[in-house]
Amino acid sequence: MSASLLRVAARGPSSVLRANIVAARPQPVAARAGLAASTNSFSTSARLRSAHQEETFEEFTARYEKEFDGVQDVFELQRNLNNAFAYDLVPAPSVIAAALRAARRVNDFPTAVRIFEGIKAKVENKSQYEQYLEELKPLREELSIPLKEDLYPEEAN
């Protein structure tokens, strides 16, 4: 008697039924043709390229301003922020302004404060961050959005 038959007998009748069900499942065409063992696990086909062309910074800015203008809930706001900050660039002040207005519209104070933390993390140096703060200062005051540095001065770097 083979070892596999002894294992099946030791498991009981339910394992025999399970083994028959697994064997009865349809298999991929390559496996049925006996090709599965001969092909390697790496694809030899060319990677599909995106149909989208690279967008300019102006197109990026216009797209995200429109996205933030259409935000209706916190999930959309945070998803759009994650997408905007995922690029290898710092969003334009107009995009940040649209995001801040969207945060106010959906009443999400913590995200509004965190937007400035995202800017601080994305800029190359402190003077760029200060330029963003200067340009967005009227909107920050209008929407009453403090900075993390204002809320927690002992943690300011």
Q: How many CB atoms lie within 10 A of CB 95?
A: 21
Task: Tell me the CA distances in angstroms from 6 to 17, 19, 22, 23, one per residue in order.
Answer: 15, 14, 19, 18
Taking only the tens of pLDDT, the chain with its 157 residues reads 555 555 555 555 554 445 554 555 555 555 555 544 444 454 444 454 445 578 899 999 999 999 999 999 999 999 999 999 998 889 999 999 999 999 999 999 999 999 999 999 999 999 999 999 999 999 999 999 999 988 888 876 5
Q: pTM of the entire structure?
A: 0.64
Query: Which CATH number among 1.10.4030.10, 3.20.20.70, 1.20.1250.20, 1.25.40.40 corresponds to the domain 57-155?
Result: 1.25.40.40
Residue 100 CA to residue 111 CA, distance in Å, equals 9
Give me the residue spans of the domains in the chain. 57-155
Work out the burial of residue 47: count CB atoms within 10 Å of its CB; fewer than 13 is exposed, 13-18 middle, 19 or more buried. Answer: exposed
Tokens of 46: 């060319």
